Structure formats: structure tokens, C-alpha cells
Chains A and B, each alone.
Chain A
Amino acid sequence: MGERQLLKKEATTDITEHNFSALEKALTMEGAEVVKEIKEAGLKGRGGAGFPTGLKWELALAEEADDKYLICNADEAETGTFKDRYLMENVPFKVLEGIIIAAYAVGANKGYIYIRGEYSKPIKIFTKVLKDAYDEGLLGASILDSDFNFDLRLIKGAGAYICGEETALLNSIEGKRGKSRTKPPYPIQSGLFGQPTVVNNVETLTSAREIIDLGAEEYGALGTEESKGTKLVCLSGDISKPGVYEVEFGELTIREIIEELGQGVKNDEQLKFIIPGGASTSIIPAEKMDVDYSYEAIAEIGSSLGSGAIIVLDDTHSLLDLMVNVSRFFMDETCGTCFPCKDGNKQLNYLLKKAVQKGGFTKKEIELIRSIGETIILSARCGLGQTSSNFINSIFDNYQAEVLQRGNEDAEN
């Protein structure tokens, strides 16, 4: 038991050392066949939402348009997530291959890789990767002497988490404020500059590359019924050996990931809970660590695998402080369009800070915070607002007794 390395294998930043076998193979297939492989392999999006990649590609392939775009989402900014950076720094040519394969499969002629502006090293690496790739005929006209043409361009983000949301990403590339768009229409129908657009996460595209390389059957044999293949897990927080680990779905439990891969909680403290998929997912308390690492098993216990960012928290922290910290993240990062998201997350932060000062909540306050949280989730336009109170709610679900203001639980105010 341990890591199961596919994505992480064969790391290199030297184009001459990389074997473009998957791309070569893909170019001998029809686009539709590539899509079929991805569908059969059961790949789900690794950007957080877990949307079936094959289906997305199939829909995109069916769209007719002069320009079709393929966008690699490398805006990675969800707290606790750093796997895409790992991929871009260590296996950039696999990422590139994934992008080109995806573009080929859906018939895209133009593409962007949008890397968050703070990622200077990946930006540097990828600038070189693009140059080398153009030089080697891997990008541009007649890729590897096929009749497939595809241009890829790197766009740097400029410091805004929300731009990782796919429609905000489109606005950002178009040079607008990075606010999300109303869906429908979905990017597949009307995306960048109104053209059909596929947005995929770095890890998704890299996994697609592995699928073509291995074949759907072999890849699909890894993992569980609902979660195929491998997943990069980012371990951070109170953990002895933080880092990016690749696991086969269903092979390890979260406890095993923490204890075996991460070598347990730092400084031998007591585990309190983990957040399985970044700050937008609900916590999993220590008692439930024996859950299998898969989309379905984690959903079963009321959370979500998200982007794969496992943040480990020991029991030395004040829960109230943690809540303030997480709520500040969403308050800071809302694009500011939806009133409930903009004003609601500000109010939540205020109420939580107030609780810190008095050392806890009254039951009434908890009710109020939950009610505001519900309002944000139900009425916000995009995933940021819709997930912004998951953490807070899950703390109440699991530790309400601990956060009540002692002696004053039932106060009116």
C-alpha cells in the first residue's frame, strides 16, 4: 500500500527526454474515438466539481463553430491545493500532451493555459515548454505532421481566486473583471468570445493523457465503480510529511493517507478533523477517518473530494479562529456580484469575529449564522458562494457543543 504513480511518473522538464507516445497515439485516432476512450475510462474533472470529462468533450465535439477553444485551468488557488503546480513543475510535457489531446478530441483550434500569476516557476517552465513545443512541431499548424492545427497561449492570472471558476476564467481571459457568468449558456455552448469552449483542470487533462497512453481499459481497472484511476492528494496543515501524493481511488482510507503517506499528525498531536477538498468542502471529523478515498465514499458521509486538498487539523486550535480564517477567505475572494455572497460573507466574518471576542456563540447566533449561510448557498450564482459556508456549517454539525459560549448558550443576544 502507498502511492500508485501514474501522473507523477517520468518527470522531466526537458522536451528531448519526454516521450509523446500518447499524443502520437491520439493523432492516429478520430476525435470521437478519443472522446470515447475518455468516456469509457470514467474520468471525472479534478478541478473540484467532478463533472464527467468524456461527456463534456462529447458535447463540445458536437458543437459547430469557426473557433473552438480548449482552456487548461491552472489558476489553482483553493486553500490547500498545490497539485497542479506540482504537475506543471514536474511533468509539464504530460500536461501539454493532455491539452493537445483534448483539443484534438473536441476539435478545438485555439487554446489557453491560464496559470495563476503568483506561480512564477510554473509560468517560467511553461513559457519554455510552449516555445519548445512550437519549435518541435507539437503546436501550431500540422501537429506532428498530422492535419491537426492548434495554437496554445499562456495567460497569466493576476491574483484572484474566483478566476478559477470556469466562467470567471473566461471573463478574465477576455480582459474583464473576473466575475462568473450566468449559466446557461454553458461554456461548451457559448464560452470564450462567445465560442464553444472546454475548460478542464490541469490534472484532468494530464489524466486524460494517461488514459490514452494506457488505454481506457487498463486505466478504468484502477479505482472504484464511481472513481476511476488515480488522484493527486495535497496534504497540508498539521501533518508530518506534507506534499503531493498520488493514490489509486478506493485503495486507501483517509486515515491511511494521513498516517502512511503523511506520516501522521505533526508533533504527535491529536487529530481533530480534516477538510477533504479545500476550504469549500465540509470537514470530516477524526472518528470518520476510515472512509475510503473516493468520490462516492466521501459524498456518502456528507462532504466532497473537491480538488483533493486534504488539510489536516489537530486539536490545538481554536475552532472559532479557524472559522474566522476560512470565512475571511471567502469574504476576500468573492467577486462581489451577488449581494448574498458579498454582504453575506462579510456578515458571517463579522459574526464569527464577534464570537471570538466573547468566546463562543449563543444558540440564537448559530441559528442566525446558519440561516445566512443557507441564503448564500441557495441564492449565489457560482460555486464560490454556493460552497462558502460548508466549512462553518460542518463545524456546527460536528462541534456545536464546543463553540457555544459557556454559561450564555441560551441568551437572546
Chain B
Amino acid sequence: MPKIKIDGEELEVELGTTILEAAKEVQVNIPTLCYLEELSVYGGCRLCVVEIEGEKNLKPACATEIAEGMEIKTHSEKVRRVRKNIFELIISSHNIGCELNCLDCSWNISCELKEIAELIEIDQSRLDSINERYDDDNSSHAVVRKMNKCIDCTRCVRKCEEIQGVGIFTKANRGPETLITTFKNKGMGNVECANCGQCIHACPTGALHESYHYNSVWHFLNDDSKFVVVQTAPSVRVALSEGFGEEPGTVATGQMVAALRRLGFDRVFDTNFSADLTIMEEGYELIGRIKEGGKLPMFTSCSPGWIKFIEHFYPEYLPHLSTCKSPQQMLGAVAKSYYAEQHGINVEDMIVVSVMPCTAKKFEASRLEMEDDVDFVLTTRELIRMIKESGLDMMNLAEEKADKMMGASSGAADIFGATGGVMEAALRTAYEVITEEELGKLDFKTLRGLAGIKEAEVEIGELTVKAAVAHGLGNAKELMERIEAGAEYHFVEVMACPGGCVGGGGQPVPTNQETVEKRLNSLYQIDAEKKLRKSHENPEIKAIYEEFLGEPGAKKSHDLLHTHYIPRSI
């Protein structure tokens, strides 16, 4: 192993190690900007430059491998001077200087640039701002691009391409016209974007954020003639608290419900309820397809990013998608029918708001096929903003419960937020419905965890159900390739975001492997601690079928709870 020296510390490291990695071994963190561990190395920002003894030019630590005898200085006079200048150049060439827009920046709560500025001790800013003036890209229902803030680090480009396998972004032009853009500058709404919002998590400058709905929500909350109801997705409760300084994974279900009531929502429902409902519908659909020789494998349909991905890239597979609406849409649909009817609320006056970990849900709610179900979609981040704006000390609110009729849920619904969760929930119900026996062990451990693609075979009576689970669209693409190559499954669960909804594009910053894992564990914890752990045993679910829907898959559910898809080419 080569021997090297970093800031005078001797160490031995494997050949092929980068300077950046080697430095970590002697507890030196070299500042980086375009580098992200999960992505390929770009080496463009040059903030990570170091001095190598005997070489005139500085070298980027992220893109330079160590060599025998290297003597590296990570913060020499030259290095410190150069990286401060680079930082100054970045700030002045893009619309990201503090005096310009810290205050309304989507990243103001957790600013990577500020951290870097602190790390490298920026003490002056001598340059005029010479930012190009680009228009914002507002073409998408899900994600907004503020091109003026973009510094061309390509983190979104690489995330979209390497992790999500979609690749809607590119670096275009050269020289002073260099920019990150979409195909022919069409805008995110006019290309094959899945709306997953993972690019938002990749962006260090806040150039990307969700298309905001919170102002509209404020508006209707203040309109007494409207009956405003809200629903919250499983993953929100294990992430919301991060916005209030809690450890990732801290559960805040009761506090969240209380906060929503204090914000003025007339009813607080739980998307978990409709997750249970989804399991009923989807479970019966699967059983039907297996029994009656329908299209298999059946694909889950609760992740709208995944739906759009299939519509663009695999339109021939549309018949494989379950026709079930997602839990968000189902809840909207039954709120505006079942609940409205029973409480004599004029549907015209009802506003359904959902709080989602997801940006694609915004697009989903706008789909013409079901645009009446949900009116506004807030991300977890937007709800954090609203609660903050209202002055509430959320974590110290007394816990409250969601409203009756659409507030109860099983543990199976909670794990919807985790990759493999929908599959596990469905299997718990399918098993008992088909075999009419009680399922002994409820935990399907092979379906859990962060492996990109998980496969399992589950014995249900006579039948061996072959299941596959993928999370992140890059993995989904790989799974689709397997299916195209002949792999046979009955049931396939895909969630567009890495980790599942807990890692959604609308979740708090930072959303990374570490935070995703903690949120995920909390969901399984909630499930484990619940008495009610199977969707079909949820009393409110039993009630809605008895009082309103009839049977799963019957006419009424079909009209309200199912939908169809649109082939979109690229």
C-alpha cells in the first residue's frame, strides 16, 4: 500500500483511493461542492483543491487518486486563497449571494453554501454580481427551476441520470452560455420528467424546489365558507419533526394532527386510512388477476413518479399497472363523496389538501382523470413552513388523534412509506383473504431494507406468489429490464424514490441514506407497536365497505377508487 502524507500525518492507503477519501482517514474534511458520495465524480467546482508537494497546479481532491509518496497539503496558503476566490466567483456569477435572496430561498433552513462559506472562512466579497438573467422554469406541476441560482454543478443531472435512470437534465452549450437545462430548453413539465423531485435533494443552492401550494392553502384556510380537510401521508409523521430540530426519525403523529387543527383545518384525516383501503382494492385486484388470468405481473400504482415513468418509458406495460388510485387520490375521492354525504357537506365547498413527502403527488392531483379528488398538495417541507409561520411550538403540542371515519389505520398502512411496505401490507391481507387462515408471522423480512431490488416467493395456500420490489427509478429500470428479459413475477412494487416515500422529493433537507434509514426504521417501529396490523381488520375500512362501497372492486369502488393511464412517449 502506498505511503502518503496529508498535512504532515503519515498514512498508508489502498491504491485507487482519492485524496478526499484518504483525508477522511486522518480526520480531515476537505470542503466539496459538486461532489456527492452516491454520484459519479464530476470534478468541476474545484473547491476541493489541495496542494501536492512538487506540483505547481493544485489538484481536486475528489478526482485525484493518491500515489506513492504524495505529500498533500489541504489548507496551505495557496489552497486557502484559491478556494476562497472560487467561492467568491460562484456567488457573484449566480444569483445566490445572501444579500440577494437568502431570505426567500427554499434552502434557507439548511444551506450547504453557508456551511461551505463557514468552513473556508469567507471574509470578503469583492465582486459585482454578474448573474445571467434566465426565466424561471414553471412548466412543471411538481418542480420549479430557478435557473438563476443554478451553478452548473450537475448534481441534479447526475442524480436524475445515475440514481433515477431518467436523465431529463443536461449540461448544454459552452463558454458563458453554459447552463443546465432540459431537452431543447423545453422545461421540466414538457419532457419525460417523472416529477420525483430527487433533483431537489441533490441541488446545493435551492435552484430547484417544489411547485408551492401553501399560499393557496392559507387562502382557503382563511375562507370560512370552505370546509377544508387535510390528509397526511405515512412518511410525513416520521420526518416532519426534523424541521423543528428533532433527530431524523422522531415520530410526531399526534403533534402533527394537533398542529393541523390549530392551523385551521376543519377535519384532519389520515392517508393511512386510504392506504388500508388501497390494500383492499389492490389486494382483490391481484387475486382477481391471478385467478382470472389477467395481466401479470401486476405493478403497484401508488407512486405517481413510477406511473409517469412507465407512461413515458414503458407504455406497453400500462395494462400491468394496478388500476387503483393512490391512497392520496382515494382519500380525496371518498372525502368528497362518502364523508361529504354523511355529514351533509356541499362538495363544492370542500377543499381537500394533502400533505405528502412527494412532489409527484402535485402532478398526480392535477391529472385530468382525477383532478377533482385532491385540490392542493403540500410537501412535508411546505407544512413545516406553515407551522413555523403560525408560530406553533409543534413538538410541545399535546398529541391528538385524526378524525373519525377516515382516521384509523393499521400498521400495514404505516409501512406504505417504506420500500417493500406496500407489498408486505398487501401480502398480509391477501394471505388471510385467500387462505381464510390467520397469518402467523406478520413481518416479511425479505421485503425490508435498502437493497435496490428485492425478490421473494411467498406461499399463500396452494399458490406461490412471486414478488419483486424496487425503489428508486434506476432500480425500477433494472427490474423492468429483467421483466423484459423474461423474469416472471405476480406482483411488483415500485416506488420512485430511493428508500420509498420516506426518501421522497418533498421530505426535509437533508434527505440522504442516513435520514432515510432512520425514518424507515420509525415506520416499522410504529407498525410493530400497533395492535391493528392488517388492513382488512381496520374497523373504519369495514365500515366504509358496509355503509358505502359494497365490495372491493365492485361498481362504486370502481368508479371512485380506480383510474386509467396515458401512454406518453419520449
Contact = CB atoms under 8 A, between A and B. Distances in A.
A63 interface: no
A343 B60 CA distance: 17
A401 interface: no
Contacts of B60: 182, 379, 381
A160 B173 CA distance: 10
Nearest to A162: B174
Contact of B128 (A160, A350, A377): A350
Contacts of A182: 43, 60, 63-64
B127 interface: yes
A347 interface: yes
B78 interface: yes
A214 interface: no
By Cβ-Cβ distance, the 10 closest A-B pairs, closest first, are: A336-B178, A343-B93, A375-B85, A343-B89, A379-B46, A332-B175, A337-B44, A336-B174, A375-B82, A339-B45
Contact of A336 (B56, B82, B130, B171): B171
B57 interface: yes
B57 A379 contact: yes
B63 A334 contact: no
Given A336-B152, A339-B89, A379-B58, 7 more contacts: A184-B65, A344-B85, A368-B126, A374-B81, A378-B57, A379-B82, A379-B86
A380 B58 CA distance: 8
13 contacts: A177-B171, A178-B174, A331-B176, A336-B173, A336-B178, A340-B85, A346-B130, A379-B46, A379-B86, A380-B46, A381-B43, A381-B46, A386-B57
Contact of B44 (A160, A162, A338, A372): A338
B250 interface: no
Interface string A2-25: 000000000000000000000000
A347 B130 contact: yes
A245 B96 CA distance: 51
B78 A378 contact: yes
Given A342-B178, A346-B130, A350-B128, A372 B46 contact: no
Chain B CB within 10 Å, residue with most, of A160, A332, A339, A374: A339
A333 interface: yes
A371 interface: yes
A379 B81 CA distance: 11
Contacts of B541: none
A347 B92 contact: yes
Contacts of A178: 174
Given A342-B152, A378-B78, A333 B175 contact: yes
Nearest to A332: B175
Contacts of B127: 347, 368
A350 B127 CA distance: 10
A157 to B, nearest CB: 13
Chain A CB within 10 Å, residue with most, of B46, B82, B152, B178: B46
Interface string B126-165: 1110100000000000000000000110000000000000
A340 B174 contact: no
A311 interface: no
A346 B130 CA distance: 9
A368 B85 CA distance: 10
Given A162-B174, A331-B176, A378-B58, A339 B130 contact: no
For this complex, into which size category does the number of interface residues on chain B fall? 35 or more
A138 interface: no
A347 B57 CA distance: 21
Contacts of B173: 336
B90 interface: yes
A346 B93 contact: yes
Contacts of A375: 81-82, 85-86, 89
Contacts, number: 102
Contacts of A377: 57
Chain B CB within 10 Å, residue with most, of A184, A332, A340: A340
A155 to B, nearest CB: 19
B384 interface: no
Nearest to B93: A343
For this complex, into which size category does the number of interface residues on chain A fall? 20 to 34
Interface string B75-110: 000100110011001101110000000000000000
A350 B130 contact: yes
B447 interface: no
A350 B43 CA distance: 25
A342 to B, nearest CB: 6
Given A340-B85, A350-B130, A379-B46, A335 B90 contact: no
Nearest to B83: A379
Contacts of A335: 174
Contact of B46 (A339, A350, A354): A339
Contacts of B46: 338-340, 379-381
Nearest to A185: B65
A345 to B, nearest CB: 8
B82 A347 contact: no
B49 interface: yes
Contacts of B47: 339
Given A334-B174, A339-B151, A368-B126, A344 B89 contact: yes
Interface string A264-296: 000000000000000000000000000000000
Contacts of A386: 57
A184 B59 CA distance: 11
Interface string A376-401: 01111100001000000000000000
B426 to A, nearest CB: 44
A336 B90 contact: no
B364 to A, nearest CB: 35
A177 B42 CA distance: 14
A100 to B, nearest CB: 33
Interface string A151-168: 000000000101000000
Contacts of B126: 368
A332 B43 CA distance: 21
Interface in A13-52: none
A343 B43 contact: no
Contacts of B152: 336, 339, 342
A346 B174 CA distance: 12
A336 B175 CA distance: 5
B53 to A, nearest CB: 15
Contacts of A372: 85, 89
B176 A332 contact: yes
A378 B82 contact: yes
Given A333-B175, A378-B58, A339 B44 contact: yes
Contacts of B86: 339-340, 344, 375, 379
A339 B126 CA distance: 17
Nearest to A377: B57
Contact of A339 (B78, B90, B176): B90
A381 B81 CA distance: 17
Nearest to A413: B126
Contacts of A331: 175-176
B131 to A, nearest CB: 10
